[in-house]
């Protein structure tokens, strides 16, 4: 969800103004995903690298996150949306963790759209932590290297209970992954748009979905194999 700062700068407003307006896009895209029957929607909300931003911006983002979760719980429940998170929450402020935990508990019984917030998230850190846990289990005799496979590694990732994404949307004209779900996006379709995140509304999301639906996903096979798998 990139481009909040540039959007605000273009209007001669502080970066925080862009983040606040970006929340409206979060709401619209979440609603659109739920209406379309999307099962999982992951929003890269705050990376481990984002701590390097100006302190006042980071503090404002944490306050905005708390307020947004608190204000949206009722709507999430009304729309059967479950809130989840991936990343390392330990470094988040106590107030942020408290509100996040409250939102996760309040929506735990919902079985519609799974809304996943990537908070204090780094894919490299996720993979590193996975390997450390695997080594610890190996030393404890709980893991056998002889049958190590893709599913084994998957079980040690933050996303062990979440399917790999079908579509990754990157806004604001940036053409990079930025340390996001590096293991999980091996066969994910990419969609890049020049639209800044605060201007990315339902129609923008629909456009991305339509583009995705027109693609042929071969997963290493030929077109003929996809059409006639026998």
Active-site positions read: 2, 50
Confidence of residue 147 (pLDDT cuts 50, 70, 90): confident
DSSP 163: P
Name 36's Cβ contacts closer than 8 Å, sequence gap at least 6: 209
Q: What global pTM score does this model have?
A: 0.92
Among 120, 91, 89, which Cα is nearest to 104's?
Answer: 89
Q: State residue 229's pLDDT score.
A: 57
Domain residue spans of the chain: 4-214
Superfamily of domain 4-214: Decaprenyl diphosphate synthase-like (3.40.1180.10)
Q: Which of 20, 118, 34 is nearest to 76 (CA)?
A: 34
Tell me: pLDDT of 72 over 60.
yes
What tokens appear for 116 in the block? 């996943």
Instruction: With cut-offs at 50, 70 and 90, classify the pLDDT of residue 31.
Output: very high
The whole-number pLDDT of residue 228 equals 61
Concatenated DSSP letters for 29-82?
HHHHHHHHT-SEEEEEEEEGGGGGS-HHHHHHHHHHHHHHHHHHHHHHHHTTPE
Q: What is the pLDDT of residue 146?
A: 87
């Amino acid at each position: 969800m990139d481009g909040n700062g540039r959007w605000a700068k273009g209007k001669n407003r502080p970066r925080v103004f862009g983040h606040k307006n970006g929340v409206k896009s979060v709401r619209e895209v979440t609603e659109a995903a739920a209406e379309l029957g999307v099962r999982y929607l992951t929003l890269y909300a705050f990376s481990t690298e984002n701590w390097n931003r100006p302190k006042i911006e980071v503090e404002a983002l944490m306050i905005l996150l708390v307020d947004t979760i608190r204000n949206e719980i009722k709507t999430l429940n009304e729309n059967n949306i479950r809130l989840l998170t991936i990343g390392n929450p330990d470094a988040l402020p106590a107030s942020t963790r408290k509100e996040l935990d409250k939102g996760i508990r309040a929506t735990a019984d919902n079985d519609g759209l799974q809304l996943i917030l990537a908070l204090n998230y780094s894919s490299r850190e996720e993979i590193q932590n996975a390997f450390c846990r695997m080594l610890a289990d190996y030393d404890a005799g709980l893991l056998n290297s002889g049958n190590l496979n893709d599913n084994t590694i998957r079980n040690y990732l933050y996303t062990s209970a979440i399917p790999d994404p079908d579509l990754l949307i990157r806004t604001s004209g940036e053409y990079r992954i930025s340390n996001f779900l590096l293991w999980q996006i091996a066969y994910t379709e990419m969609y890049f748009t020049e639209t800044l995140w605060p201007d990315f509304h339902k129609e923008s999301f629909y456009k991305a979905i339509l583009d995705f639906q027109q693609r042929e996903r071969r997963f290493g096979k030929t077109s003929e194999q996809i059409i006639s798998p026998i």
